[in-house]
Amino acid sequence: NVRGLGGQQKRRDVLHFLKNMHFDVIMLQDTHLTNNKIPFFDSLWHGKAYHSCFSHNSRGTSILINAALQHEVLFEFISEGGNYVIIGCRIGADTYVLGSIYGPNKDEPEFYGKIDELLGGVECDHVILGGDFNLVMDYEKDCFGYVRENNANARKKLIDVCNKHKLVD
């Protein structure tokens, strides 16, 4: 969660840092990128980038793929609300679904129902979802001392999605 990449200096700093890490795939959330900022962002990345935009001050997700990683894109699912970008691709002999998710701040299980629907319509060898889901999967482990459970219905739906698609946290 980068909490906004709309400013030129922050975009440069974050992308410089990420390029130096030499990762093959990077998933970003809360990018605050708009369609008019994408060309500037992509010119700094020097790899392939997939984006879902919303506004200059909220949401947005991106998947960045290193230029050295040979891949063939099979499909793209891009949220109009800036909450996810999901791509299917072939890397070597394997097929992957890569998804950068920025979950709603409210208890909206239907959002994860949509993710389930998208995943259910594809066949692949591997599914990798990353992001800021805006909920906690394991309250015992991650929320010691919290007064109440946030986004309980969305959490239940996401657990169902993970079980159905054999995803692990």
44-63 tens-digit pLDDT: 998 999 999 999 999 999 99
**What's the pLDDT score for residue 145?**
66
Q: Facing residues of 76 across strands?
A: 87
Mean pLDDT is lowest, of 8-17, 49-58, 144-153, 156-165, for 144-153
How many residues are listed for the chain in this entry? 169
> Is pLDDT at 131 greater than 90 in this prediction?
yes
Q: Return the structure tokens found at 100.
A: 């950068």
Task: Output phi, psi for 17, to 5 deg.
Answer: -60, -50
d(CA 96, CA 94): 7
Lateral strand order in the sheet of 25-29: 25-29, 61-65, 48-52
pLDDT at res. 68: 95
Number of other CB atoms surrounding residue 64 within 10 Å: 24
Q: What is the pLDDT, as a whole number, of residue 138?
A: 83
What integer is the mean pLDDT of 5-9? 83
pLDDT value at residue 126: 96
pLDDT exceeding 90 applies to what percent of the chain? Answer: 78
- d(Cα 130, Cα 99) in Å, to the nearest integer? 6
Residue 130 has pLDDT above 80, yes or no: yes
The per-residue pLDDT for 16 is 92
This model's pTM is above 0.75? yes
Question: What does the alpha-carbon distance between residue 135 and residue 150 come to, in Å, rounded to a whole number?
Answer: 7
Give me the helix-helix angle, 152-164 and 109-120, nearest 10°: 10
Q: What is the pLDDT of residue 8?
A: 84
3-state secondary structure of 81: coil
Task: Give the pLDDT band of residue 148 (cuts 50, 70, 90).
Answer: confident
